[in-house]
Chain A
Amino acid sequence: MFVYADNAATTKLSSKACAAYIKTAEETFGNPSSLHSAGQRAKEVLEDCRMRIARILGADAREILFTSGGSESDNQAILSAARAGAKKGKRKIVSTAIEHHAVLHTLEKLKKEGFEIVLLPVGTEGIVRAEDAAREIDENTALVSVMFANNEIGTLQPVEEIGALCKAKGVPFHTDAVQAVGHVPVDVRKIGCDYLALSAHKFHGPKGVGALFIKRGAPLSSLIEGGAQERGKRAGTEDLPAIVAMTVALEEAVAEMGPVTKRLQSLQTELIDGLAKIPHCALNGDRTRRLPGNVSFCFEGIEGESLLLLLDEMGVCASSGSACTSGSLDPSHVLLAIGRVHDVAHGSLRLTLGRETTKEEVLYMIKCVPAVVERLRNMSPVWRDLQEGKRSYIL
Chain B
Amino acid sequence: MALYSEKVMDHFKNPRNVGVIEDADGVGEVGNAKCGDIMKMYIKVKDGVLTDVKFETFGCGSAIASSSMATEMIKGKPLSEALSLTNKAVAEALDGLPAYKMHCSVLAEQAVQAAILDYYQKNNIPYDPAQFKCTHCAHDEEADE
Contact = CB atoms under 8 A, between A and B. Distances in A.
A302 B13 CA distance: 15
Top-5 shortest CB links A-B: A324-B60, A343-B33, A305-B60, A381-B40, A381-B56
6 contacts: A305-B61, A322-B60, A323-B35, A324-B101, A381-B29, A384-B20
A324 B59 contact: yes
Contacts of A303: 36-37, 58-60, 63
A168 interface: no
B23 interface: no
A379 B104 CA distance: 16
A327 B35 contact: no
A342 B33 contact: yes
Q: Classify the secondary structure of A's interface with B.
A: helix
B29 A329 contact: no
Interface residues of B, number: 32
Given A302-B58, A306-B59, A382 B64 contact: no
Given A379-B18, A381-B38, A306 B61 contact: yes
Contacts of B139: 329
Interface of B: 4, 9, 12-13, 15, 18-20, 29, 33-40, 56-64, 100-101, 104, 139, 142-143
Nearest to A378: B18
A192 interface: no
B53 to A, nearest CB: 14
A382 B35 CA distance: 13
A276 interface: no
A306 B12 contact: yes
A383 B60 contact: no
A324 B64 CA distance: 12
Given A306-B12, A379-B15, A379-B56, A329 B35 contact: yes
Contacts of A322: 36, 60
Contacts of A342: 33-36
Contacts of B104: 324
B35 A309 contact: no
B56 A329 contact: no
